[in-house]
Amino acid sequence: MVELSRLPSAIKSDKAPSAVHRLPIEILDAVAAQIDDRHDIISFALACRLFRDVVVPRHTKHRLVASSYSDTAYWTTILSRPDLSSATRVAHVRDAPRRGTYPTKAVELQQVAAALRTMPRLKAFAWTPPLSLRGDAERRAGADVWKAVVERGEVRHLAVIQPLNPPGQFPVYVGAIERYPLWSLGGLTSVSLVNVSFLRHQESVAQFARVLENSPGLERLHVVLYDWNFSLSTMLGNARFDHLKALTLELYAEPTRNSEALAALLERTPKLEALEWEHIPLSRPLKEGSLPMLQRLAAADAPALLSPFTTTTSASTPSIIPDTVPEPRALTALGRVELRAGLRTGHWLPPLIDGSVLQRLELGWFDGVTVLADAVQMLPGLKWLRVPSADYVFEWRGVTREAIHMGEWSHVLQRAPQLVVFHGPCLFHDPELHTSGYEDVEERAREIAEGMPNLRRVEHWSLLPNRAVLVGKDGGWREVEVGEREDWIAEEEDWLRLGEEGGADDVDALFRWRTGL
């Protein structure tokens, strides 16, 4: 039982009696469990002091469940408190620490499956251990985990992330491959697959196509795979992507087999806003009217895909934006751009791109300060700038023709007065001060941050990677761990909050940030 009372500020008269209500704590639990969005549950907790005392420790702690599958004590706790796990929205099953021997995983996986069955409101599921399972018992237990996920019925976000080397082998299912429970998932909003072993086998790829076909409302698709025999057309099947907004494809696969499938995919994504892909070239121009809502683009061939950025670009390279478009595209983000010297001012920016609208720019190469400054000046609304990593102590790591000194950065950044975020790992080390080592890196990043009126975050290289300087609204600054980028086109405007929380590359943070759960 809890007592709910009005706040003192809500009482107009000192003599007015405070309204006291006695409610069973189970009622608060039931109300809090129905709230999906994490921002809403925070607002609920802040509405009353006693709401906060119940909701914050009990519900915010259990809305995200994340642990190794071998942590039996953790999963036992989850099983013992179904009243709290009933509010879980995100479950992340992590890999187990390496052991000297190879014990069976069957019992541990069965416990994970049982715990998942106590989460009726599960919205997002992430699996990061290798999928390699040995023996019928382990295979049945692994399949039971996926069966438990399917049984939840409300899962909308799926992430399966595997190590690249060595790739885990997809288990030979005890029954027929087409009956593996994973293929029964549907109704997904976002899918992230990184080096997953079932995409390395043609038969299981064809089965996974059922998941995409049964998810007509899919909004985000992120696939990373290095397998020369992979077939994109097999994975896509007959799926429609009428609601897809963000697409990331990093596929190192045979281009002839996959380029047409890529073009066909882009032509049936009318709501696509963010596009990033690598390795697979387009074999032909897209049909007129394709990608009408595209706002953010990052691709290895981005210069040629929009219009020639450099004099070496082949005129026969297909364009994803036909020249028949009557007005410039309002792209807000552009990545993998190479700025070469020798071009007339403005020739790096395609005529089909409105520079006054572009807010984010990622560079793959720039020849020097002059060409970079000229490019930045063409983007009056630039708020987010990433320059490639370099280490001028080792000349082979350089990404410009010559080193850039501290004083030269002000020459560039002063031309972008609206800049808020600057990613420039290791470019703040003055190459002339070889005796200083890296001790002054943070100080130099702070100097850059303080020299700009709106700059709030500066990323840099240091002995502890992924460090950044954050400048507060009061002018104070501090260093934080920001994590490596997950994929830049999906980074949201609340980057400052993410930086304070520790970065968006971690799967848990990724789910909290993308799903709002």
pLDDT at 20 > cutoff 70: no
Q: Would you say how long the chain is, in residues?
A: 517
**Nearest Cα residue to 312 out of 342, 345, 274, 271:** 342
Q: What is the pLDDT of residue 230?
A: 93
Asked if 367 and 401 count as a contact pair (C-beta separation under 8 A), the reply is yes
Cα–Cα distance list, 210 to 139, 181, 185, 459 (Å): 21, 12, 8, 41
pLDDT band with cut points at 50, 70 and 90 for residue 305: low
Distance (Å, whole) CA 472 – CA 476: 5
Per-residue pLDDT of 47-73, as tens digits, reads 666 666 666 656 666 788 888 898 999
Question: Whose structure tokens read 């972008």?
Answer: 416
Distance (Å, whole) CA 502 – CA 517: 17
pLDDT band with cut points at 50, 70 and 90 for residue 475: low
Q: What is the pLDDT of residue 211?
A: 95
Burial of 13-30, coded b for 16+ CB within 10 Å and e otherwise, reads eeeeeeeeeeeeeeebbe
Distance (Å, whole) CA 19 – CA 3: 10
Q: What is the pLDDT of residue 491?
A: 36
pLDDT band with cut points at 50, 70 and 90 for residue 19: very low
Q: What is the pLDDT of residue 326?
A: 54
Residues ≥6 apart with Cβ < 8 Å to 333 = 274, 295, 296, 297, 298, 358, 359, 360, 361, 362, 384, 488, 489
CA angle 105, 106, 107 (to 5 degrees): 100
Q: What is the pLDDT of residue 515?
A: 44
Provide the token pair at 212.
């995409």
Q: What is the pLDDT of residue 76?
A: 94
| Highest averaged pLDDT of the listed ranges 2-6, 237-241, 246-250 | 246-250
Mean pLDDT (the chain, rounded): 73
Per-residue pLDDT of 245-297, as tens digits, reads 999 999 999 998 899 999 899 988 999 998 888 888 887 888 888 888 888 88
Per-residue pLDDT of 396-438, as tens digits, reads 444 565 666 666 777 788 888 898 888 775 555 554 555 444 4
List the beta bridge partners of residue 251. Answer: 225
Q: What is the pLDDT of residue 18?
A: 42
